Structure 1
């Protein structure tokens, strides 16, 4: 939370209408509520966020979000990524010192994970970014799935590399060394985010189609927090049905 050093942590949910696989996804009804509302309500349970907002370019999302009393920041429709959308939204949040970028399609996200990311960023003024990762068994088929992003870290937990390829390559078995599946939630120091969006897409970023590689290629420090939060995202209507089933069981 805010303190005498001026730390002010804001959670932002970027939301756009035009998904190629699932147009209108943020407003898709799950158990009678828009998807984005489920995420918002999870975030409201956090204790380390000083403010929360939805950043969108679409009046339909704005209207629906305001109906459940969310703060909405309208942004340009021309942003290539959610990160760029969040950077513009910061213009309406001059007090924000740190930002947590919360994916608007993870309705079961653990509030404790968001709080942990916020706390890690606030505790280390030298840290540029923080993110999270789930340990996988090296034998899990997901290790070879290019849609599952893997990350390897230094001994202190800082990210060394992210890839769609199996990472690391186990030429030798190493007891206790998991594969880490990257979870797409990020926290940033404000000044770093404002600089990050001015950099052009980097070579490795373009090769792997992974925006976080731009940060590493420019020398940024990214702390990776291991988590047991394996909450699924929603990329298709079929996945939305699965989330509805999980909510009914909870």
Structure 2
């Protein structure tokens, strides 16, 4: 089974323009993320896929592998699907370009899902972590997921799900962590399918998979990713490094 990591990398960013090209300890954020993915030794290959000549040249000039997007894309899944369409690969892991502090254990958990899936019931796998703080549960920027008894996703939402009508029901709330491991065919199917009303309403691409019957295996983790979305985040990352 051939497993690769793909890092989608856009140059433009609403909250923090050109953030992936910012300096983090002598290297750009995107280069540091790329090298961190390689250093996990979990992947047969690692690629950055981008719409930017600047990012493409940053990776290529440092000996890395980059792919230029041909089209404009609505989502990271679309960008990755185009990039891997002609690659000989079984599993594609989406690594976030703005999270240079990669957690190897979480990625290993995602990959192990497929080694155990001998009947190929899983189309994609992703991470979730339990949240208990009421402000985190209520925050629409924290995407929540509900799962069945075998941890397959039932639904994702920015709203509080399930609604706590009964306060003592013992419900656990999970935040979705947006790192995915896809079967290649699931990605290609996604690329060919139109956006439906649930995805359009919530602005969550994972709902397209559910709306078209794909099975998403959720893996619980304790890890909280350190994403760089603002200049303040970058300063924190520099201190951590």
Shared topology, TM-score over 0.5? Answer: yes
Partner of 2:131: 136
Question: CA contact under 8 A between 2:85 and 2:188: conserved in structure 1?
Answer: no
Aligned match of 2:34: 40
Does the CA-based 8 Å contact 1:151-1:163 persist in structure 2?
yes
User: Which of the numbers 188, 196, 204 marks the counterpart of 2:198?
Assistant: 204
Q: How does 1:185-224 map to 2 (within 5 A)?
A: 185-224=179-218
2: distance between equivalents of 1:33 and 1:8?
A: 29
Matches within 5 A, 1:37-186: 37-93=31-87, 95-124=88-117, 125-137=120-132, 139-174=133-168, 177-186=171-180
Q: Is the 8 Å Cα contact of residues 46 and 112 (structure 1) preserved in structure 2? A: no
Q: Deviations over 1:84-119 (max 9, x none)?
A: 1111111352x1111011111111220221122122
TM-score (normalised: structure 1): 0.90
- Structure 1 residue 76, shift from structure 2 partner: 2.0
Deviation readout 1:135-158 (Å, 9 max, x if unpaired): 111x33111111111111101000
Moved over 4 A (4+): none
Q: Following the alignment from structure 1 to structure 2, what is the Cα–Cα distance between the partners of residues 176 and 70?
A: 48
* Counterpart Cα distance in 1 of 2:27 and 2:134: 34
Contact (CA 8 Å) 2:78, 2:190: kept in 1 or not? no
Q: For structure 2, which runs of at least 5 residues remain unmatched after alignment?
A: none
Unaligned runs of 5+ in 1: 1-6
| Secondary structure in structure 2 of the residue aligned to 1:215 | helix
Corresponding residue SS for 2:192: coil
TM-score if structure 2 supplies the norm length? 0.93
Asked if structure 1 preserves the Cα contact closer than 8 Å seen for 2:2 and 2:89, the reply is yes
- Tell me, yes or no, if the aligned pair for 1:147 and 1:164 is still in contact at 8 Å: yes
Give me the CA root mean square deviation: 1.6
Residue 20 (structure 1) aligned to one of 14, 19, 28: 14
1:20-50 residue CA offsets vs partner (Å, 9 max, x unmatched): 2222121111222111122122212323311
**In structure 1, distance between residues paired with 2:27 and 2:131:** 32
Counterpart-to-counterpart distance in 2, 1:88 and 1:204:
23
Higher alpha-carbon deviation: 125-134 or 175-184: 175-184
CA–CA distance in 1 between the matches of 2:101 and 2:174?
20
Q: How many positions carry a matched residue from both structures?
A: 239
Q: Over residues 146-190 of structure 1, what are the superposed CA-to-partner deviations in whole Å (9 max), with x where a residue is unaligned?
A: 111111110100001101011222222357642111101111111
What do residues 188-223 of structure 1 show as CA deviations (whole Å, max 9, x unaligned)? 111111011111111111111100011111111000
1:80 CA displacement: 1.7
